[in-house]
Structure 1
Amino acid sequence: MLEVKALNVWFGAGRDRVDAVKGANFTVEEGESFGLVGESGSGKSTILRAISGLAPQWSGGINVNGMSLGRRRPNAFYKTVQMVFQDPYASLHPRHSVDQVLGETLYLHGFRDIDARVVRLLDDVGLGQKFRFRYPHQLSGGQRQRVAIARALAPEPKLLLLDEPTSALDVSVQAEVLNLLADLRADHGLTYLMVSHDLSVVSHVCDRLAVMKDGEIVEVMDVAALRQMRATHPYSQQLLQASI
């Protein structure tokens, strides 16, 4: 579903250039959930931004579902790939109701049976019709993130990019949203690429993960190795020890 080859991402130019991602290589199989972990500033979210088209300065190869990506993303890309951002309050328009958020997304992607699809999306994320005409300020953090997930599901994508989707939520709500993501992946046959600094979140949701340090991937391991504390790179071992 996703192949990243020798990916470099940078910001600025000349003396001001900052290399945020250096030579990243990994693949994500169809139906798999793959995690990117590491401390803040390690380049995890920058990889998601490069894949989604939000980081303009990059080199290397990004291939999604057989589609080789260049600087501009074709319309077909956004029907295949959607992103869920870290802060659901910032990613939702404060003056748009839930109905407008979902209805506009469906309209832009060419769907016509919008009413029925809005209802179905709200049911899919466990909200129901009673939330349809509410505004973001009338929702809790967990409910807002469910709306953001519903919006990402609207075009019927195959790959979801999840940028710390629970880190802005209360601990009591995090498990609910993670369980929802696991259910949606199973029900819709989705593939996930999830960024998180929380190894317990990755252990709960992902099958494999890549550990990042200073813009580089230092190790790729499966979740069984994570749970058994079997990291080979010294930095990965430090991360595991710090999470105990």
Structure 2
Amino acid sequence: MIKVENLNVWFDDGYDRVDAVRGASFNVNQGESFGLVGESGSGKSTILRAMTGLAPTWSGRIEIDGLALHGHKRNRDFYKTVQMVFQDPYASLHPRHSVDQVLGEALHLQGFRDIDTRVVKLLDDVGLDRKFRFRYPHQLSGGQRQRVAIARALAGEPKVLLLDEPTSALDVSVQAEILNLLTDLREEHGLTYLMVSHDLPVIGHMCERLAVMKSGEIVEVMDVTQLRQMQAKHPYSQELIGVSVAH
């Protein structure tokens, strides 16, 4: 479903050039949940930004559902296939748009007509009842806002969700609820996930395989069984696991 080959992403040119991602390669199978893990600044979120056209300067190959991506322009077909859930649900929702407007607009942009029925269904899918429909973001908790953001991402019936630290801005008690919701939705809708996190236990809970990133490079790709059995080969991966176990 996702193929990334020798991906390089950089910002600025000349003396100011910053190479954020260097030579990254990985594949994600249809229906799989794949994690990108590493410390802040390791380049993991930048990979998602290149995919969605938010990082304009990149080279290499990105292919999603058989479609090769070029530059930073993305057409409507891309957004029918791929949607992104951001880290901060408050920043990603318009403060003066009600939940109904947020979801209704997303459905309208995807060309759906039966918007009323679909809004109710989307809310139901993410575990929110109808009373939330005409509320505004400031009237919702962090977890409820993230549920709305997930519902918006699901509006166009995508095949792929890109998840950029989707629980790191939430209280610990709410994080598990959102992760369990995402797990259920993947099963129900046959979704493919590419998930970014600095938190190994989160990746271990959500993903079948993961790539460990350090300083813009993928240092190791492993499956979750290797992670749980602490069988990482690269010293940095071993260090990450060690810190995670200590906490």
Q: Which residue of 1 aligns with 2:51?
A: 51
Distance in 1 of aligned mates of 2:200 and 2:130: 35
Look up the match of 2:42. Answer: 42
The whole-number CA distance in structure 1 between the counterparts of 2:151 and 2:75 is 22
* Correspondence for 2:13: 13
Which secondary structure does the structure 1 equivalent of 2:25 belong to? Answer: strand
Residue equivalent to 2:91: 90
How do residues 64-83 of structure 1 correspond to structure 2 at under 5 angstroms?
A: 64-71=64-71, 72-83=73-84
Which residue identity lines up with residue 144 of structure 1 in the other structure? R
- For the residue of structure 1 that corresponds to 2:158, the secondary structure is coil
Shift of 1:128: 1.5
Aligned pair count?
244
Q: Does 1:101 align with 2:102?
A: yes
Query: Aligned equivalents of 2:137 and 2:52: distance in 1?
Result: 24
Task: State yes or no: 1:220 paired with 2:221.
Answer: yes
68-77 or 81-90: bigger deviation: 68-77
Cα distance in 1 for residues equivalent to 2:76 and 2:187: 26
- Separation (CA, whole Å) in 2 of partners of 1:127 and 1:199: 28
The C-alpha deviation readout for 1:44-96, integer Å capped at 9, x for no partner, is: 00000001111000000000000011112121000000000000000000000
Per-residue CA deviation, residues 89-137 of structure 1 (Å, 9 max, x unaligned), is 0000000000000000100110000000000000000001110000000
1:171-182 to structure 2, matched below 5 A, reads: 171-182=172-183
Structure 2, unaligned stretches of length 5 or more? none
Distance 1:216 1:76 in 2: 30
Cα distance in 1 for partners of 2:115, 2:129 equals: 15
**Counterparts of 2:211 and 2:171, CA distance in 1:** 26
- Pairing of 1:1-244 with structure 2 (within 5 A): 1-71=1-71, 72-244=73-245
Distance in 1 (CA, whole Å) between partners of 2:76 and 2:4 is 20
> How many angstroms apart in 2 are the aligned matches of 1:53 and 1:73?
6
TM-score for the superposition, normalised by structure 2 = 0.98
Give a deviation string over 1:10-39, Cα, whole Å, max 9, x none.
001100000000000000000000000000
Task: Give the 3-state SS of the residue equivalent to 1:243 in structure 2.
Answer: helix
Percent identity between matched residues is 77
Q: Which amino acid aligns with 1:74?
A: N
Q: Distance in 2 between matches of 1:128 and 1:78?
A: 26
Partners of 1:171 and 1:86 lie apart in 2 by: 14
Q: In angstroms, what is the RMSD of aligned CA positions?
A: 0.4
* Gap regions ≥5 residues in structure 1: none
